[in-house]
Amino acid sequence: MLPQGNSSRERAKGWSRTLQRLRDNDAALTVVIASSRGSINSDEDLRSLAKALQKNTVLLTLDLEGQRIGPLGGKALADALLGNNTLRKLNLEGNQIDVDGATAIAAALNCNTALTELNLAGNWIRNGGAKALAETLQRNSSLRSLNLWGNNFGRTGGKAILEAVQVNTALQKLNIGGNSIGTEGVAALEGALQRNTVLKELNLLKTMMRDPGVELLARALARNHTLERLHLGDNGIKSGGTRALAEALRDNSTLKELYLSGNQIDNDAARNLLGALTKDTGLIELDLGDAIPEEEVRNVLSKLRRIPPTPEGGTDRLPAIPFQELRLQRVIGTGSSKTVHSALWHDEEVAVLILRSGSARSEAAVFERLGRHPQLTRLLGTSRDPYGSHVLVTELARKGSLHTLLGDLVEEGRKASNLVLLQCAMQVCEGMLKIAEEGLIHRDLALRNVLVFDFDPDDPKRVAVKVTDYGLTREAQYYYSESDELPFRWMSPEAIVRGRWSEKSDVWAFGVLLWELWSAAMIPFHALGNADAAKRTVEGHRLEKTDECPDSIYELMKQCWETEASNRPTFIQLRVLLQDLHVELASALTDEAIPDTDVTTVVDPGTEAPDCDEKDESEDKEEQLPGGDTSGDQGNPDVPDTGNPPEGPDREPEIHITIPKHVGESQTHDDCSLCSRPVFLFGSIILLLALT
C-alpha cells in the first residue's frame, strides 16, 4: 500500500520509496494499492511507475482505483504491460481512461500473457473501447476476469464483447453490467452461452434487457453446462421473461446462483419459477427481490437439495443421516477399504460408501475442507450402518467412472473427440488445483477416480466430470507408512523409491491420467505386472505415445513425467498450458469446436495487433499526462449515466470453484488385478527393485 502521509511532501517520499522498491525488484513488494484519491498526483509519478513496471518481475497486484490517470495514463500503463510478464491483477476502476486508453490496453493484451484479472469499471470506454477489447478477447488466452461495469457503451459495444466470448477459451468471469446493451446486444449472448465452455460468472445488472432479451438468454441457458453465477437485476423483467427462465432452469443443473432483484416480477411469476425447479437443480442462491419472502425461497431450495435449512444465525453442518432412511440398491463398487452402493434417500439417488477401515473421519474431513466445487464430488451427510461401520453419503454419478465410460465407447466402436478429452482434462485439473490450494495431496489420481455427471463424445459443452475418492488424501509432503495400499502404475519415482508425496507427485499421476484419456482407458504398462511397472518407472522408462494422441498432448505428458519433481509444472501452470492446447486444437478442428454460424464477429479494423517482439523505444520520451481531463468526452446518447458500481454482490462477485470427489475407489473394476490398488508394502517393493 502506498504510504499516506499528512502532507504532500510525506506522500511524495512514500511514493518515491515505493518506486525504488519496484525498480529494485523487492521480493516483499507483491501488492501496490493507491489507497486514496490523488496518491498519484503528477505526470512524472505515472511515467515513473510505468517505467518501473516494465522492468519489475515481482509485483503481482496493482490497484490504482480512482486515481483519474486519464487516457494518456492508460496508454502509459499499456506500454508497461508490453514489457511486464509478472503482473497478475490490475485495477483501474474510475480512472477516466476513455476510448484511447482502453484501446491501448487492449492492444497490449495481445502480447501480454501474464495478466489474469482486469478491472476497467467506470472508465467511459464507450463503444470504441468495448470493440477494441472484444478484438483482443478473440486472441487472448490468459485473462480470467474482466470487469467493464458502467462504461457507457451500448448495443454495438455489448454485441462485440459477447460475440468475442463465443470464441474466447479463457475468460471465466465477465461483468458488463451498467451498460445499456439492450435486446440487440443480448442477442449475441445466445451464441456465447451455447459455444463458450469456460465462462462461470456473468453480470448483466442494469443492461436494459427486458423480457425479449431474457427470453433469448433463457433459450441458451437451457443448453449451457458451464455458467454458475448469473446477475440479471434491474432489467425490467416481467412475467414473460420469468416464464422463460423457469423453463430454462428445468433443464439446467449447473447454475448455482441467480439474482433477479429489482425487476417487475409479481408473486405468481415468482412462484411459477420456484415450482419449475426440480431435485436436479444446482441452485443454492436465488434472489427474487420482494416477490417472495427470502425465507420461503431458502426453504424450497433446501428441500430440493435434501439439506435441512440453516438455522437463523447458524452455519451449514453436514447432517447425520439415520441409516434406515437410506434404501440401499445395487453394489456399484467394492474395494479393500469400502463398498459402494447406489441408494435412495428421500427419493433422491445417492451413493452410499460403507467404510471398513478407520479412514471415515479423515475422508469426511477432506470433503468438508474442500467445500463445494464443481469439479469435486459433494458429500451430503454421514451415517452408521447396523454393524457400526462408518458411512458416507455423496451425490451419485449415474454415468459411473470416466474409465468405464471410455472403455464402453471402445466396445461400441466409437471414441471421444480430442476437444471432449481435453475438456475432461481441464475439469480434472481444476479439481486438482483446488486440492493443491488446500495444501492436500490426492495420492490416487487416476481415470477410475473421475466420475461422470454428463458426457457427449462429440460435444465438449456436455462434459461434466468430478475428481473423487479421498481415501488416500493427506497433507502435503506426506511420507507413506508400510500399511498404505499404493497405485504404483500412477506413482512418481520419488513416491516409489522414497515414499515421498507432494503436489508434484499428483502432477505425475495427472500425466498418466492424460495417457489414459488418449489411450481409450487402457491400463498403464498393461503388459507388465505391478512390480515391473514400478521398476520401469524408476529406471526412466515412460509410457509410449498412442496413435490417437496429438503430439502437443504427449509433450505435456512428458513435462508431467520429468524425473526431478521440481521440473514438473504445478496445477496452476497446467491450467494455463491446457487452455493454450485448447486454443490449438480448437483452431485445428474448427468445425468441431465452433459450428458454422451466421453470426458475424465484430472486429475493429483500425486496431492492429502490435509486434510483440518489437522493442518499445518510447519509454524515455517525455509526454504530458493530464490528470484525467475528460472535457472532450462525448457520451453515448443511448446510454444513461449509471454512476458508480453498486456495493456488494451487485458489483463484482467472487468466483468460488469446488472440486468433486467420489465414492469412487470402485465404480470401475476393482476386481482387476492390474488396476486395483495393489497391497504392496513399501519395504517389499524396494526390496524387489533391489533384487532385480
CA distance 129 to 151: 9
Active-site positions read 444
3-state secondary structure of 506: helix
State the SS3 of 182-230. Answer: HHHHHHHHHHHHHHCCCCCEEECCCCCCHHHHHHHHHHHHCCCCCCCEE
Q: Which residues contact 674 (CB under 8 A, 6 or more apart)?
A: 489, 523, 526, 530
Q: Is 619 within 8 Å of 51 (Cβ atoms)?
A: yes
CA atoms within 13 A on the CB side of 621: 9
- Let me know how many helices (H) and strands (E) the chain has, helices first: 21, 19
Closest CA to 142 of 97, 91, 194, 86: 86
Q: Is 274 within 8 Å of 302 (Cβ atoms)?
A: no
CA distance 644 to 117: 20
Helix (H) or strand (E) holding 103: helix 98-109
Mark out the alpha helices in 485-622 (DSSP H runs): 493-498, 503-517, 530-538, 551-560, 571-588, 590-593
Neighbours of 276 (CB within 10 A): 16
- Cell 448469473 appears where? 230
C-alpha triplet 54, 48, 626: angle, nearest 5°: 115
